């Protein structure tokens, strides 16, 4: 049993003022693995006050100092890779292919920001003006449970590069992972108050961070519904916001696609992170001409996406993070059946041979139309919808006919054609033929998938305010 009863303020692990205790569970077994003592509004205020005190000196640090801090942070996270991986498997249930990537990705986000910082021009001349990019002020980060390390590290890295101090509220469901990660970050020996991490409920600590007048900017990753609340709460003091929200990514198989290559990629990006990924390509679009062939291939090949325990290296689909999330996914699977979509793989209930844990079956619906709720709403589980199109125009129309706009996928053989189609998709990123992640390229959504961009120099810009001095 893990008892998490500390939060991190002013460079120290302290007992929170808040007294509420929440249970922590292993989603693969449904067993209680520990408890977390949650911070309250007083704790949120104390964290903000610490970050505010640290801000003036930190804002004056130079590039060299900040690069050194980023390198220390990266090393400190990488040094405890094995423990971080283990915690993520136990508390979140992520399969090994994902935990292996997640810790490396989290540690490398500091290195990537150090690289950006080396070349970043904080001072630029524009005519008579000298324009300086200055740190935006105390920032609040609010993060979800589906990649706890990655979101905390990416946001912290950007704050350090910009010279802003930060308060962080991770998901209350990730407290074991947060505790370990905080111990790593503490090892980097940053000045007191530069970063502060408070476990707590969203509607308590998250809400205080979103409305407190001393917070200049909120960087939020989570659901679109909560993103709206963060935006509203910040409006009173005109906070700058970066919102990374939900998605319903189109996963478009063009009629010239080589299915031997495309089908495994379509399934991989559709079911990534057990379907608990904002960037998952959950709407599979296929031409009428190839529909029968594609559906048959998907039906057969989804069987290679083995559900099960994170201890099994062959597992590709882990459990849903919580009972609530499991029930939500189950409700959507039942809804798909009720809406008249054709179930071609999976369905309600747990996968065969699994009697415990919040596992959902990898599920595919065919004959889905874009007005069905399973095609419009983010399910956040291993559930794919196959929709068909007559021609390229209709494919683009269906792809863009959504309130989301985060990440789209194209599969085909004619690169020039795919580049043209990519320019017509209303989303922040388009991935062609399963191309690997580019950590320095901007990441974020159009429409209700968010506001602003993270990563690379675009991400850094969003933690800075330009000031023009005219002479
Ligand atoms: P969530 O919106 O429920 O919670 C996210 C965070 O916000 C948590 O820390 C939560 O405690 C906090 N929160 C809840 N209510 C709040 C309030 N009133 N004020 C301030 N903070 C509050 O999301 P989740 O269930 O943790 O994560 C899943 C969602 O995150 C999905 O919709 C997914 O698409 C989205 N997501 C987006 C991205 C992206 O980069 N675009 C990445 C990962 C996840």
Domains of the chain: 2-245+447-470 (3.40.605.10), 250-432 (3.40.309.10)
Record the pTM.
Answer: 0.98
What is the model's pLDDT at position 330?
A: 98
> Is position 244 annotated as part of the catalytic site?
yes
What is the model's pLDDT at position 297?
A: 98
Atom of ligand 1 minimally distant from the CA of 172:
11
Q: Which of 223, 235, 236, 446, when mutated, tests ligand 1's pocket best, judged by the most ligand atoms within 8 Å of its CB?
A: 223
Among 349, 346, 359, residue whose Cα is nearest residue 309 = 359
223 Cβ closer than 6 Å to some ligand 1 atom = yes
Ligand 1: residue whose CA is nearest its atom 15: 202
What is the model's pLDDT at position 7?
A: 98
Q: Which of 222, 281, 326, 332, when mutated, tests ligand 1's pocket best, judged by the most ligand atoms within 8 Å of its CB?
A: 222
What is the model's pLDDT at position 415?
A: 98
Low-confidence ranges of the chain (pLDDT < 70): none
| Active-site pick, 244, 378, 427, 454 | 244
229 Cβ closer than 6 Å to some ligand 1 atom = yes
What is the model's pLDDT at position 411?
A: 98
What is the model's pLDDT at position 12?
A: 98
> Is position 236 annotated as part of the catalytic site?
no
38 Cβ closer than 6 Å to some ligand 1 atom = no
222 Cβ closer than 6 Å to some ligand 1 atom = yes
321 Cβ closer than 6 Å to some ligand 1 atom = no
For 170-186, write each residue's pLDDT tens digit.
999 999 999 999 999 99
What is the model's pLDDT at position 56?
A: 98
């Amino acid at each position: 049993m893990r008892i998490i009863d500390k939060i991190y303020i002013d460079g120290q692990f302290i007992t929170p003022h808040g007294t509420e205790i929440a249970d922590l569970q292993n989603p693969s077994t449904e067993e209680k693995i520990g408890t977390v003592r949650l911070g309250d509004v007083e704790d949120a205020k104390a964290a903000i006050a610490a970050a505010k005190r640290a801000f003036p000196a930190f804002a004056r640090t130079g590039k060299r100092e900040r690069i050194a801090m980023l390198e220390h942070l990266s090393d400190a996270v990488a040094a405890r890779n094995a423990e971080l991986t283990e915690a993520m498997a136990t508390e979140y249930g992520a399969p090994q292919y994902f935990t292996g990537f997640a810790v490396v990705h989290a540690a490398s986000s500091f290195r990537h920001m150090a690289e950006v910082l080396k070349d970043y021009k904080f001072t630029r001349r524009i005519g008579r003006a000298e324009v300086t990019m200055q740190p935006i002020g105390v920032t609040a980060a609010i993060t979800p449970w589906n990649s706890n390390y990655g979101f905390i590290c990416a946001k912290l890295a950007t704050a350090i590069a910009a010279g802003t101090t930060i308060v962080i509220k991770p998901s209350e469901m990730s407290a074991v992972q947060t505790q370990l990660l905080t111990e790593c970050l503490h090892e980097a020996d940053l000045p007191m108050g530069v970063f502060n991490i408070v476990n707590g409920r969203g509607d308590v600590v998250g809400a205080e961070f979103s409305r407190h007048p001393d917070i200049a900017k909120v960087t939020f990753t989570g659901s679109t519904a909560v993103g709206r609340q963060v935006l509203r709460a910040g409006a009173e003091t005109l906070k700058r916001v970066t919102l990374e929200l939900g998605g319903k990514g189109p996963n478009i198989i063009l009629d010239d696609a080589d299915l031997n290559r495309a089908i495994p990629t379509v399934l991989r990006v559709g079911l990534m992170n057990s379907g608990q990924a904002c960037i998952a390509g959950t709407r599979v679009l296929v031409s009428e001409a190839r529909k029968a062939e594609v559906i048959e291939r998907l039906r057969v090949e989804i069987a290679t996406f083995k559900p099960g325990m994170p201890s099994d290296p062959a597992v590709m689909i882990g459990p849903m993070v919580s009972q609530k999330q499991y029930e939500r996914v189950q409700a959507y699977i039942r809804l798909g059946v009720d809406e008249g979509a054709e179930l071609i793989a999976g369905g309600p209930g747990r996968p065969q041979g699994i009697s415990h844990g919040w596992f959902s079956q990898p599920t595919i619906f065919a004959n889905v139309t874009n007005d069905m709720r399973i095609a419009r709403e983010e399910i956040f589980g291993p559930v794919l919808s196959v929709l068909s199109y007559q021609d390229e125009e209709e494919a683009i129309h269906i792809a863009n006919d959504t309130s989301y706009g985060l990440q789209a996928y194209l599969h085909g053989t004619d690169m020039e054609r795919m580049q043209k189609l990519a320019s017509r998709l209303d989303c922040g990123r388009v991935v062609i033929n399963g191309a690997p992640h580019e950590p320095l390229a901007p990441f974020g959504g159009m429409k209700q998938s968010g506001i602003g961009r993270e990563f690379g120099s675009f991400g850094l810009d969003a933690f800075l305010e330009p000031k023009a001095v005219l002479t």
